[in-house]
Amino acid sequence: MDFNAENLKKLRPLSGDGSKLYIETYGCQMNVSDSEVVLSILQRDGYRYTERIDEADVILVNTCSVRDNAEQRVLGRLREFKPYKRRKKALLVGVIGCMAERMKEQLMEREQLVDIVAGPDSYRDLPRLLRQAGDGSRSVNVLLSQEETYAEIAPVRLDKNGVSAFISIMRGCNNMCSYCVVPYTRGAERSRDPRTILREARELFDAGYREVTLLGQNVNSYRWEQDGHSTGFAALLDAVAGIDPLLRVRFSTSHPKDLSDEVLHVMARRENLCRAIHLPAQSGSTRMLELMNRKYTREWYLGRIAAIRRILPDCALSTDLIAGFCTETDADHRDTLSLMREVGYEFAFMFKYSERPNTKAARHFADDVPDEVKTARLTEIIDLQNELSLQSNRRDVGRTFEVLIEGVSKRSDDRLFGRTSQNKVVVFDRGDRRIGEYATVRITDCSSATLIGELL
Ligand code: 5AD
Ligand code: SF4
């Protein structure tokens, strides 16, 4: 007998065999996208998705290692699964994602809480790992790959709005920012075959989706080479945007050193490429940027901002900032505040520096900014960003925007919410409008987080 996949299936029923799978996702958008790939792989193997943890036969936790508090939260959460395990002896708990990669041994040693550990490149192996764990031996696969992109796997969408979806276009990171654990947990950078990306985007559009976000740790270094032909990020973006003018396209994350004018010109040409760029600065001090191994200076970063302003005058800007990196002085911190003012960010993700084991910073620099100082600086950064967001929103009052409707407002069934091309949330009275449609909305009021509008 030929032992191909079909024949193997005949020999043995699908290992999932109707078992119920519950997934909890922590961390970045890439993890959300990965959970959708995991669900696809396991559904094919006979598992059924459930949103109810109390009926689960398998619990998977997709985890993040970027900061210590993210890891602590998951470790606490794993303890909360104990009673479920007590009630259902056959229940399997798996830790997948970045923590699996970084903490394999520790996880396996933890009070019998974890049965499976699978790193970001071993999700195709989950059916086997689960089978093995079901037979009573604990299972680990944390091999990283140079090639894995899960290119042809059609993710099962976990978001329920049916309007916007993530498409992963590359994996891993080669940048080696000195504070960052991602290159160690997600491995080397590799790009996904553009044909599979386009197919996925088109299928989403045909299924009614109206917005896709192309995801990667550093999307601007996307590159696919085949038969002497090379596709870079600008060409990929252009092709995805070409699927239909009604399909909005976003992308994240851009590394400032790789954001090219070519990409900005493609955006300017295509209105459905959204006017929002996430360009993590991390710090406004050139001395810090050097220690962080970011490979640009404050001036160079501001030069990229100037190019965006010139080519895309209506583009919103957001950033990531780290407070209290090794040796950061008050003067360095003030450079960050002045950079924020100079750019006038619409939005920011702001963090205290958290030392990650084995990174370059952990090995070579002392984590020497006291926690109280980190906290005080972070508070100043957050307060300033709230001010900047409010100023930006106030400038929008009286203007009119095309809003893609994503859902019903949490506060009131009579109101809908959606986003502008600039990625700002707008809430407005529903009228006769429906989720997934575009609406023209005039902004009448705002807070620092939300725009309030009326249908035109
Ligand atoms: N400590 C604090 N923030 C970090 N980030 C990455 N590593 C660390 C760390 N060790 C932040 C960066 C990055 C975002 C995803 O997380 O700002 O852009
Ligand atoms: Fe981490 Fe830098 Fe790569 Fe982003 S670009 S994932 S911060 S190493």
Is residue 307 in some structural domain? yes
Tens digits of per-residue pLDDT, 256-280? 999 999 999 999 999 999 999 999 9
Q: Which of 66-75, 120-129, 142-151, 153-162 bottoms out in mean pLDDT, i.e. has the lowest?
A: 153-162
Predicted confidence at residue 14, as pLDDT, reads: 60
Which protein residue's CA is at the shortest distance from atom 6 of ligand 1?
180
Is residue 185 in some structural domain? no
Q: Among 106, 141, 176, where does a domain finish?
A: 141
**pTM of the predicted model as reported, rounded to 2 decimal places:** 0.94
Give dist(CA 397, CA 416) in Å, integer. Answer: 18
For residue 424, the enclosing domain spans 397-455
Same domain, 35 and 123: yes
Is residue 419 in some structural domain? yes
Cβ of residue 350 lying under 6 Å from some atom of ligand 1: no
Give dist(CA 435, CA 449) in Å, integer. Answer: 21
Q: At what angle do helices 298-311 and 330-343 cross, to 10 degrees?
A: 10
Tens digits of per-residue pLDDT, 90-126? 999 999 999 999 999 889 886 688 999 999 999 999 9
Pair 353, 324: CB distance under 8 Å = yes
Same domain, 419 and 333: no
Same domain, 355 and 449: no
Model confidence at 281: pLDDT above 50: yes
Same domain, 385 and 404: no
Cβ of residue 278 lying under 6 Å from some atom of ligand 1: no
Model confidence at 9: pLDDT above 90: no
Same domain, 359 and 404: no
Same domain, 401 and 374: no
Pair 38, 48: CB distance under 8 Å = no
Cβ of residue 353 lying under 6 Å from some atom of ligand 1: yes
Same domain, 333 and 363: yes
Same domain, 342 and 451: no
Is residue 232 in some structural domain? no
**Distance from Cα 431 to the centre of ligand 2, integer Å:** 44
At 215, list the tokens. Answer: 């995801």
| Residue 128, domain CATH | 3.40.50.2300
| Residue 302, domain CATH | 3.30.750.200
Cβ of residue 320 lying under 6 Å from some atom of ligand 1: yes
Q: Among 365, 396, 427, where does a domain finish?
A: 396
Split at pLDDT 50, 70, 90, the class of 1 is: very low
Predicted confidence at residue 184, as pLDDT, reads: 95
Tens digits of per-residue pLDDT, 391-439? 999 999 999 999 999 999 998 899 999 999 999 999 999 999 999 999 9
Mean pLDDT within 58-86: 96
Give dist(CA 38, CA 350) in Å, integer. Answer: 29
Mean pLDDT within 234-250: 98
| Residue 409, domain CATH | 2.40.50.140
Is residue 329 in some structural domain? yes
Is residue 363 in some structural domain? yes
Same domain, 300 and 314: yes
Instruction: Please state the φ and ψ torsions of residue 5, each to the nearest 5 degrees.
Output: -60, -40
**Distance from Cα 311 to the centre of ligand 2, integer Å:** 26
Same domain, 387 and 406: no
List of residues 6+ apart from 382 with CB closer than 8 A: 350
- Region for 257 from its dihedrals, namely left if φ exceeds 0, alpha if ψ lies in -120 to 50, beta otherwise: alpha
Tens digits of per-residue pLDDT, 214-228? 999 999 999 999 999
Is residue 255 in some structural domain? no
Give dist(CA 413, CA 133) in Å, integer. Answer: 45
Is residue 208 in some structural domain? no
SS3 call for 312 = coil
Same domain, 10 and 129: yes
**Distance from Cα 174 to the centre of ligand 2, integer Å:** 8
- Write 129-136 long-range contacts (CB < 8 A, 24+): 129/94, 130/15, 130/16, 130/42, 130/58, 130/92, 130/94, 131/15, 133/92, 133/94, 134/15, 134/90, 134/92
Same domain, 303 and 424: no
Model confidence at 159: pLDDT above 70: yes
Q: Among 92, 109, 141, where does a domain finish?
A: 141
Number of domains present in the structure of the chain: 3
**Pocket residue to mutate for ligand 1, from 71, 296, 322, most atoms within 8 A of Cβ:** 322
At 35, list the tokens. Answer: 């959970």
For ligand 2, residues with CB inside 6 Å are: 173, 175-177, 180, 182-183, 217-218, 255
